[in-house]
Amino acid sequence: MKLNSSHAKAKIMTKGFSRHKAKIVIGLLAICASCLGLAAQRVSFAESLVIESLTMGEILQRLVVQSTLELDREWVESEAVTPSASPSPQTQTFAQTPTQVVGGGTKLSLNGRIVPLAWKQWQVGGVIRTGISDVGVQQLFGLELLSTRNWTRQPIQWFSNPLSTPLVLVAHHRDAYRYLDITEFAQQVGWQFQAQGDTLALTSIPARLDSIRQETQLWGFRIVLDLDRPTPWQVSRSPGEGAIILNAIANPTLVEQFTPPPVVEDEEDEEVEGDEEVEGDEEDNQVLDNQPTIQVETNQTQTTIGISIPEGLQLHVFSLPNPNRLVIELRPNAMVEKDILWAPGIWWRQRTVTLGDHQFPLVWLEVDPKNPQVKLSPMWSHPTTQVGTAPLIKTAQLWKAAAAINGGFFNRNNQLPLGAIRRDGYWYSGPILNRGAIAWTDQHQFKFGRFSLQETLITANGERFPSLFLNSGYVQAGISRYTPAWGVTYTPLTDNEVIWVVQNNQITAQLPGGVAGEESFVIPVNGYLLTHRGHDPNAIAKSLTLGTTVQIEQKTLPVEFNDYPHILGAGPLLLQNRQIVLDAKAENFSNAFAQQSAIRSAIGITANGTLIIAAMHNRVGGRGPNLTETAQLMQQLGAVDALNLDGGSSTGLYLGGHLLDRSPHTAARVHNGLGLFRPYK
């Protein structure tokens, strides 16, 4: 028997109400008890800022509302979509309403200040609607994205009372972005939009910054900005300092009051040379005695609050209403927990994970590779060549990836790859040193393990010569091979290389390489280049004369890796079959690398086939995880197999146009990464 939608919904809600009768009674009793004890209870500064303007009756009313909403939210979540499920028919209809795109671009003019931001405008029933990428809304407007299990609805908090119902924006996926429809929201807060080619111009009335209040807490410091109205704001973070940029005009006395004294220069610390990812030992630091310094700069439309951040503390900024305030906290742990179903098959999660006596802030994506709307693929900074690096944001946008994480290692000096990159069966860069890798098929089969590629050059008379590396920046004496997948040309990496041109399996030229880096040699589209480095090449040259026919014999070790058309190498391997198998020495990593504590990137897979793509930053009061801790953290996230990726300043987790885990100006350029792609509309 088929029920109509309203009948079915009423039946479900009645069933849910019956289930929660006891909870409602208990909840109301708890509310009464909490209200009676509220006057005697010592509340935190942030709580008092919210409660101080409410009467006891209003507090009781709001607590009753919140209790009811909590029960309603529990019912909604019980009926909400899961990672493997589809939205309800009602949600689907709303999200899939036919639309006509009338404009779009990648830049926003925020009261005259240009910032990168994806936007779209579409027409529905004669009304032009405006959508802005969701992560961009959070990072450039200050709208906090709250947890949700429905990818078509995004609750937000922005100068709104946490005791009331959160504002909810409708989400639409188009291209590689999740756009939030802010049409009505913008009207309510007085924002005006105008499309100007690729740029969306936003104008708003600047707020007035009336005062700045400071307070020292046991856990750190709190700074409160008093505003006359809600206003867009952004946060920029870098080691030791932060900046909050508001669309506001500061009282001139604040500029005078918060001009820092002249800096007294101390003796400079000795710089330590070495790998960018190698970080020295550091004691875990708790809250220090030194006070943060505040500097205020203002112009006609915006005010910048510069803050020095004491070592061991992190910057956390949020808004509060009634009256409108922006609260800046410097605390040991600034992680805001999130569980957001960003798209079918893609969860965005972040929280602090405890490991022994330490706490680590983690941001990760959980991806269902079996979802037909998700595809994984390696990507690199310049699609036509393996030479070069770029910010992960730029690479992801170039390849039109919806999400991405940095991938394998590379040489920062010559910007060449140092590990396996295989895509659609083509080797764009071969593996090195038997290091760890992740391999997968288009049928969602995955393999984590250490592997190598063995190539042998065979002449017509049966002579065999090992070809050590394929399309690689790794240098070692012997023969290496470069195919068109490397790019149009090859430039020698060492002095006095000997180069053979092979076309249609025949030696057509032998050329001197000369001085490293000076001359480039064209790679034939119907063949490849062989280059010999190191010891005397004469013995090999006698066998590779002009006109000689040659063949390449190729196999992977273990052989099953050859069955996987997509491979991304990095290392060390962390987990296999739920066990920690970490052996940095076996993968030829240095002792310094193996022992250091640093920011990390990692990828793993759970027992049910869900991918875990994670960024791990500095522990509370100290450095990032070491490799063993990285393996243990991946276990805590549910991984049974896992691989360490390039880390340190290379670490970056990208989603919907922006980095989730760090400010983009603190992230180094990288050579390659792993991209998540969705079908385009």
Q: For 500, list phi and psi in degrees, rounded to 5.
A: -110, 135
| The residue type at 434 | N
Q: Is residue 650 part of a domain?
A: yes
Mean pLDDT of the 555-562 span:
97
Mean pLDDT of the 636-646 span:
99
Kindly list the strands in the beta sheet with 346-355, ordered across the sheet, starting from the edge strand earlier in the chain. Answer: 338-343, 346-355, 358-367, 611-616, 600-606, 639-645, 573-576, 579-580
**Same domain as 459, residue 435:** no
Cα of 346 vs its chain's centroid, Å: 13
Cα of 136 vs its chain's centroid, Å: 13
**Same domain as 359, residue 324:** no
Mean pLDDT of the 393-411 span:
98
Q: Is residue 456 part of a domain?
A: yes
In this prediction, residue 262 has a pLDDT band, given cuts at 50, 70 and 90, of low
Residues 6+ apart with CB under 8 A from 613: 364, 365, 366, 367, 403, 405, 603, 653, 674, 676
Half-sphere exposure of 347 (CA within 13 A, CB side): 21
Q: What is the pLDDT of residue 499?
A: 98
Beta strand spans in 9-112 (E): 100-110
Q: Where does a domain end: 498, 528, 557?
A: 557
Q: Nearest Cα to 384, choosing from 485, 471, 483? A: 485
Q: Is residue 491 part of a domain?
A: yes
Scan for tokens 């990507």, then name that residue: 379
Q: What is the pLDDT of residue 474?
A: 98
Q: 44 versus 452: which is more confidently predicted?
A: 452
Q: Nearest Cα to 655, choosing from 18, 89, 145, 76? A: 145
Residues 6+ apart with CB under 8 A from 452: 431, 433, 434, 556, 557
Q: Is residue 68 part of a domain?
A: no
- Percent of the chain beyond pLDDT 70? 80
The CATH number of residue 248's host domain is: 2.60.40.3500
Residue 97 pLDDT > 90: no
Three-state SS at 47? helix
Residue 136 pLDDT > 70: yes
Residue 264 pLDDT > 70: no
Scan for tokens 């009261």, then name that residue: 111
Mean pLDDT of the 581-602 span:
96
**Same domain as 600, residue 459:** no
Q: 502 versus 127: which is more confidently predicted?
A: 502
The CATH number of residue 472's host domain is: 2.60.120.1140
Q: What is the pLDDT of residue 177?
A: 96
Q: Nearest Cα to 531, choosing from 508, 504, 511, 553? A: 511
Sign of the C-alpha dihedral computed for residues 277, 280, 286 and 289 taken in this order: negative
**Same domain as 443, residue 578:** yes
Point out which residues pair with 167 in neighbouring strands: 156
- Beta strand 100-110 pairing with 199-203: parallel
Report the range of poorest mean pLDDT among 16-20, 256-260, 310-314, 536-540.
16-20
**Same domain as 99, residue 168:** yes
Indicate the Cα dihedral angle 256, 262, 268, 273, nearest 10°. 20
**Same domain as 526, residue 433:** no
**Same domain as 160, residue 106:** yes
**Same domain as 484, residue 443:** no
Q: Model's pTM, two decimal places?
A: 0.82
Q: Which helix (H) or strand (E) holds 375?
A: strand 375-380
Q: What is the pLDDT of residue 263?
A: 56
Cβ(192)–Cβ(288) under 8 Å?
A: no
Q: Is residue 236 part of a domain?
A: yes
Q: Name the percent of the chain in helix, strand, coil, to the closest 5.
A: 20, 40, 40
Q: Which helix (H) or strand (E) holds 243?
A: strand 241-246
172-202 per-position pLDDT tens digit: 999 899 999 999 999 999 999 999 999 999 9
Half-sphere exposure of 561 (CA within 13 A, CB side): 28
Beta strand spans in 521-563 (E): 521-522, 527-533, 550-557
Domain span at residue 361 reads 338-450+563-677
Q: What is the C-alpha separation between 80 and 341, in angstroms, rounded?
A: 10
Sign of the C-alpha dihedral computed for residues 479, 481, 487 and 488 taken in this order: positive
**Same domain as 582, residue 509:** no
| The residue type at 342 | W
Alpha carbon distances (Å) from 583 to 105, 182, 506, 573: 47, 50, 42, 7
Q: Is residue 118 part of a domain?
A: yes
In this prediction, residue 265 has a pLDDT band, given cuts at 50, 70 and 90, of low
Residue 681 pLDDT > 80: no
Average pLDDT over the chain, rounded to an integer: 84
In this prediction, residue 275 has a pLDDT band, given cuts at 50, 70 and 90, of very low
Q: Where does a domain end: 186, 203, 220?
A: 203
Q: What is the C-alpha separation between 309 and 316, in angstroms, rounded?
A: 11
Q: What is the C-alpha separation between 680 and 8, in angstroms, rounded?
A: 34
In this prediction, residue 77 has a pLDDT band, given cuts at 50, 70 and 90, of very low
Sign of the C-alpha dihedral computed for residues 678, 392, 310 and 319 taken in this order: negative
**Same domain as 230, residue 115:** no
611-636 per-position pLDDT tens digit: 999 999 999 999 999 999 999 999 99
Q: Where does a domain end: 331, 361, 392?
A: 331
Q: What is the C-alpha separation between 42 and 63, in angstroms, rounded?
A: 18
Q: Is residue 265 part of a domain?
A: no
Residues 6+ apart with CB under 8 A from 305: 212, 223, 225, 243, 244, 245, 246, 294, 295, 296, 328
Residue 166 pLDDT > 80: no
Half-sphere exposure of 395 (CA within 13 A, CB side): 33
Q: Is residue 273 part of a domain?
A: no
In this prediction, residue 391 has a pLDDT band, given cuts at 50, 70 and 90, of very high
- Percent of the chain beyond pLDDT 90? 73
**Same domain as 551, residue 491:** yes
Token pair in block for residue 227:
């505003």
How many domains would you assign to the chain?
Answer: 4
